[in-house]
Structure 1
Amino acid sequence: MLRRALWWCVLTLTGGVERRGHLPRGGCVVVANHSSHADTAALLAALDSRHTPAIGAAADYWFASPWRSTICRRLAAGFPVRRTGGGMDDLLATAGALRAGRAVVLFPEGTRGEGGVGSFHRGALVLAERAGVPVVPVGIAGTDRLLPKHGRLCSSLVRVRIGAPLPSLVTPEEARAAVAALHGRTNAESLRDSRSRRRVAAVVTSRWGLLIAFLWAFAEALSWPLMPELLLAVACVAVPRAALRLSVGALAGSLAGSLLALQLAGLGVQMPAPLTTDRMRAQVRQELTLESADAVRHQPWNGIPFKVYAAEGGRADVPPGSWLTSAAAARGSRTLTVGLVCAALGLLLRRYRRFYGSYLVVLGAGFTLGLSLIVSGWQ
């Protein structure tokens, strides 16, 4: 159960995992297509923990060293299968576990393929026949994009489709055809998306995305009433991989705008400050008197806009260097946290992208309500 939870969490954070179908009761031999090392994680996350699945792994690769062997056994429930003689004996040694109700997972191609499903070896079928358990075909899609062979980890939704048990005395060709059909059907399924999310993603990933985040935060530090975290909540859920870049850009904009606001206020220039109150300004003046630049550490949690702290800091002659240090810590903690949390939310809800428009409506309503309560609370 812990192993399944671990891999479900990992795959959820890297794009999501989706399963269709169930294993039959009792022991069974699972045969699946193999295109990525992530196939093992996908099966461990998708298969029922009551079957306590064991994964056949190449002995010459995964058990070539003590540390790799330990990782394979502990995290991937792996057992060694020799590819150069003795492999059938390794498989038949699991017959007792199959009869006890476990699932033994094998990749009959013998190695990771590229593209289609390769030819199947007979070992899995012989094992099922000797143990008297069914062979269950499984199609896996998305792992070749998540972790390509000889490639880097990328974000991708992984789908696992479990087929019906195959009849007894099935041939390798028939087993391969069943797995290939499941893989093809699963791979052909398109992820339903929202038009609004695609439009937001197009802007976020363009050359304007980072500039918009910077300017939004810059303007908010001067006068703009909508905080940059609202933009991050829109953009990072739409494009999780852009979260860190946009968060850093927004933080840089906030700091640059606050330095300008500090200087303008010190010169006696009063910028418009919509949705702020006299009580907010009085509270900030009191904090600055007691703590100087360190007073800005209260800003992420008390609901007072950042621009109020910047303007009042300028009127209190707070040194720009001290202000920048304190503001970077205060704003950075909130801006980066919001960006990364929204990115995680976008990954968790990847399969529900078609509801992104509804998410924007809920976000807008929640933000409006929260802002109204904060402003009224500081009247």
Structure 2
Amino acid sequence: MTTLAPARASAPPRHWLASALRRLLWWVTLTLTGGFQRRGRLPRGGCVVIANHSSHADTAALLAALDARHAPVIGAAADYWFASPWRRRICSRLAGGFPVRRDGGGVDDLLAMADELRAGRTVVLFPEGTRRADGEFGTFHRGALVLAEEAGVPLVPVGIAGTDKVLPKHGRLRSGVVRVRIGAPLPAAATPEDARASVAALHARAEAERKRDSGLRRRVSSVINSRWGAVLVFLWAVAEALSWPLIPELLVATIVIAVPRSAVKVSLSIVAGTLAGGLLGLQLAAAGAQLPAPLTTDRMRAQARHEIAVEGADAVRHQPWKGLPYKVYVAEAGKADVPPVDWVVESAKARGSRTAMLTALFAVLGLLLQRFRRWYVGYLVVFAGVFAWSLAGVIRTWS
């Protein structure tokens, strides 16, 4: 390979905005589908990136990983991505793709990008030419090496892991963590076999990191994503509104931190269960039933009774911020013959706002802490201790 020629430190500014928007789009998409992590950085200036290819999601992973100052463009199969107008628009606008022929003339298509490389842009290529099953590597073609030599820029290997789980070949979108590991530039005398070995090694390291996860967190994810996940959360919230001593927000802290994308499902299930349980509890209390209310005190009941006597159904708005159990308000409202419709409406406002706020908070926290998933059990231990201490404090305050 020839001596590397001086290149711009970054791509021309006119390309930055489009590249930044693509990076944000795919980073958010991958984060919401299970998580995204990157290790390593590209060298300054233009370069050719080569990566393994097992899924259409590989393009999204690379665009999310590469800085906007490199203004990356992706080599895409002309016979597939540019065979129809709608695919051409998707590839060009969402991925910055350019056509590469696979049936002859592909090297000429690549060499046409040499000036872009010298101007500081990054060209991303999949040397295998097509998607392979995860862990399998085909023959690496020479086109990427020829382009890097012609433009006088580095050739940088990248390993991608997890995309075949998120979007399998001929499969549907699933949840999963994607990791991208960027390696050091290859030596000038590198061969296609050297490039293949470097990408394979980076892929193996990224895959090993991707699998470092808590077994308990995976089981929680499996349960909440099952057909019974929302039902179990709903039943917990119903029980808490009647007698169960543990608030449903405990599920938010347990489930949403582990599976951030379940936030909407969990939040809606909690609110629906709270309202259903509250309405049932209201009717039972109005009929004279006395349900068990563990971890409550006479002072709690007196406070709720006073507020309901003064404000009626509006009194439930105090519940989320005073630490009094919802079931205490439900029981006292039933005894006071508060109209059920008014109670449901006001409960939806009060409980819904708090649940939505807490769920959003834990969803953001879960997204930010995805790389620490293997310590999920430790998080639960710490959280359980903090919750127990807080609950004891509330009971002491209202004793």
In the superposition, the TM-score normalised over structure 1's length comes to: 0.83
Aligned-pair CA distance for 1:11: 1.8
2:180 corresponding residue in structure 1: 160
Give the partner amino acid of 1:133: V
Are the structure 2 counterparts of residues 202 and 71 from structure 1 closer, same or farther at C-alpha, using a change threshold of 3 Å? closer
Aligned-pair CA distance for 1:265: 1.7
Aligned with residue 89 of structure 1, among 108, 129, 150: 108
Give the partner amino acid of 1:353: R
Q: Secondary structure at the match of 2:98?
A: strand
Q: Number of paired residues? A: 379
Aligned-pair CA distance for 1:98: 1.4
Correspondences of 1:110-259 after superposition (within 5 Å): 110-115=129-134, 116-189=136-209, 191-194=211-214, 196-197=216-217, 200=220, 212-240=232-260, 246-259=266-279
Give the partner amino acid of 2:241: A
2:3 corresponding residue in structure 1: none
Are the structure 2 counterparts of residues 205 and 35 from structure 1 closer, same or farther at C-alpha, using a change threshold of 3 Å? closer
Are the structure 2 counterparts of residues 197 and 142 from structure 1 closer, same or farther at C-alpha, using a change threshold of 3 Å? closer
1:353 corresponding residue in structure 2: 373
Are the structure 2 counterparts of residues 187 and 272 from structure 1 closer, same or farther at C-alpha, using a change threshold of 3 Å? closer
For 2:162 and 2:69, locate their aligned partners in 1 and report how far apart those are by CA, in whole Å.
25
Cα displacement string for residues 78-110 of structure 1 (whole angstroms, at most 9, x for unaligned residues):
233333454333322221221233221111222
Q: Secondary structure at the match of 1:186?
A: helix
Aligned 8 A contact 2:117 2:151 in 1: yes
Q: Secondary structure at the match of 1:56?
A: strand
Give the partner amino acid of 1:100: A
1:13 and 2:32 equivalent?
Answer: yes
1:48 and 2:67 equivalent?
Answer: yes
Aligned 8 A contact 1:58 1:83 in 2: yes
Aligned-pair CA distance for 1:222: 2.0
1:364 and 2:349 equivalent?
Answer: no
1:308 corresponding residue in structure 2: 328
For 1:35 and 1:365, locate their aligned partners in 2 and report how far apart those are by CA, in whole Å.
43
Supply the RMSD in Å over aligned alpha carbons: 3.4
For 1:160 and 1:275, locate their aligned partners in 2 and report how far apart those are by CA, in whole Å.
49
Aligned 8 A contact 2:179 2:210 in 1: no
Are the structure 2 counterparts of residues 56 and 190 from structure 1 closer, same or farther at C-alpha, using a change threshold of 3 Å? closer
Are the structure 2 counterparts of residues 243 and 107 from structure 1 closer, same or farther at C-alpha, using a change threshold of 3 Å? same
Aligned-pair CA distance for 1:127: 1.0
2:92 corresponding residue in structure 1: 73
For 1:75 and 1:355, locate their aligned partners in 2 and report how far apart those are by CA, in whole Å.
35
Aligned-pair CA distance for 1:240: 4.7
Aligned 8 A contact 1:95 1:130 in 2: yes
- Point out the more displaced range, 348-357 or 291-300: 291-300
1:37 and 2:37 equivalent?
Answer: no
For 1:180 and 1:195, locate their aligned partners in 2 and report how far apart those are by CA, in whole Å.
27
- Point out the more displaced range, 362-371 or 102-111: 362-371
Are the structure 2 counterparts of residues 279 and 80 from structure 1 closer, same or farther at C-alpha, using a change threshold of 3 Å? farther
2:8 corresponding residue in structure 1: none
Give the partner amino acid of 2:277: G
Aligned 8 A contact 1:191 1:351 in 2: no
For 1:170 and 1:201, locate their aligned partners in 2 and report how far apart those are by CA, in whole Å.
43
Aligned-pair CA distance for 1:165: 1.9
1:318 corresponding residue in structure 2: 338
Aligned-pair CA distance for 1:367: 3.0
For 2:95 and 2:145, locate their aligned partners in 1 and report how far apart those are by CA, in whole Å.
22
Q: Secondary structure at the match of 1:129?
A: helix
Aligned 8 A contact 1:30 1:138 in 2: yes
Give the partner amino acid of 1:108: P
Q: Secondary structure at the match of 1:15?
A: coil
Cα displacement string for residues 171-228 of structure 1 (whole angstroms, at most 9, x for unaligned residues):
3333223323332343344532335545655766788866653443233212333211
Aligned 8 A contact 1:15 1:348 in 2: no
For 1:191 and 1:185, locate their aligned partners in 2 and report how far apart those are by CA, in whole Å.
10
Give the partner amino acid of 2:29: V
Identity level (%): 68
For 1:218 and 1:47, locate their aligned partners in 2 and report how far apart those are by CA, in whole Å.
47
In the superposition, the TM-score normalised over structure 2's length comes to: 0.79
Q: Secondary structure at the match of 2:257?
A: helix
The runs of 5 or more residues in structure 2 that have no matched partner are 1-19
